[in-house]
Homo-oligomer: A and B are copies of this chain.
Amino acid sequence: MRFTSQTSFDGVTEQLFTLPFTFGEIPGVLWVPDDVAPTRPLILMGHGGGQHKLAPGIVARARRFVAEGGFAVAAIDAPAHGDRPRTEEHDRVIAEMRTRRQSGGDATAALAELHTLLAGQIVPEWRAVLDAVQELDHVGAGPVGYWGVSLGCALGVPLVAAEPRIRAAVLGLNGAESLAEAAAQITVPLEFLVQWDDEMVPRAESVALFDRFASTEKTLHANPGKHGEVPTFELDSSLRFFARHLS
């Protein structure tokens, strides 16, 4: 793991890093409180489709998790997102999805194919990032959580299913399509966000995904509004959820 920049603002240190891995380097960012602690809980944060590790929503959430919860937070660019190159396969599947959407057709199958492709790449990447971050003196091997909605949920469900160090997760804004099988392997506490008037994810698909999680503690939070309109107070709720399970 190689750190390429470090800045500190308002009690939060932001470090950009790259980690060499099978498909080239993984570009990431780590936020930690300025104060010294022997070990701290870590949140892995997955960005949305078309976004990247430093998207405004990711940065704002990460800074609050660090400043108010004392967590460390790590985000990486998903394959084909942010600073990462696209392969021919990415181009093909993304083009297929766009064509379907532009022609007014059903892009569900193409989107599911894209998610499956990206998940196959990012799950081992996240696990390598987790190994590396937990070896850092200023983070350590504390409890781990995952936060990700929309694409961050599509890639987070297989990750949370595969990685036993993740003890709690906030997921949402996605449906059962392509995720039902991995969801049934998840048993950790969950908060699951649903936008009641989501123009991208049908309500029934969201509820079907929630129903598939095997977790005994899982809470669905539904709010009025479209895909991008999750109310700010849900961030407070996520913060307290992680504090309850990781502190």
Instruction: Spell out A's residues near B (CB within 8 Å).
Output: 196, 210, 216-224, 231, 233, 236-237, 240, 244
Residues of B within 8 A of A219 (CB): 221-223, 231, 233
A218 to B195 alpha-carbon distance, docked (Å): 11
Q: How many copies does the complex hold?
A: 2
| Chain B residue with the shortest CB-CB distance to A233 | B244
Complex contact B236–A240 (CB within 8 A): yes
| Chain B residue with the shortest CB-CB distance to A231 | B217
A233 to B191 alpha-carbon distance, docked (Å): 12
A190 to B41 alpha-carbon distance, docked (Å): 32
| Chain B residue with the shortest CB-CB distance to A223 | B219
Tell me the minimal C-beta distance from A74 to chain B in angstroms. 26
Tell me the minimal C-beta distance from A168 to chain B in angstroms. 12
Query: Which of B220, B236, B244 has a CB less than 8 Å from the CB of A220?
Result: B220
| Chain B residue with the shortest CB-CB distance to A192 | B222
Residues of B within 8 A of A224 (CB): 216-218
A223 to B221 alpha-carbon distance, docked (Å): 9
Tell me the minimal C-beta distance from A242 to chain B in angstroms. 12
| Chain B residue with the shortest CB-CB distance to A241 | B233
Query: Which of B218, B223, B240 has a CB less than 8 Å from the CB of A223?
Result: B218
Tell me the minimal C-beta distance from A185 to chain B in angstroms. 17
Tell me the minimal C-beta distance from A206 to chain B in angstroms. 11
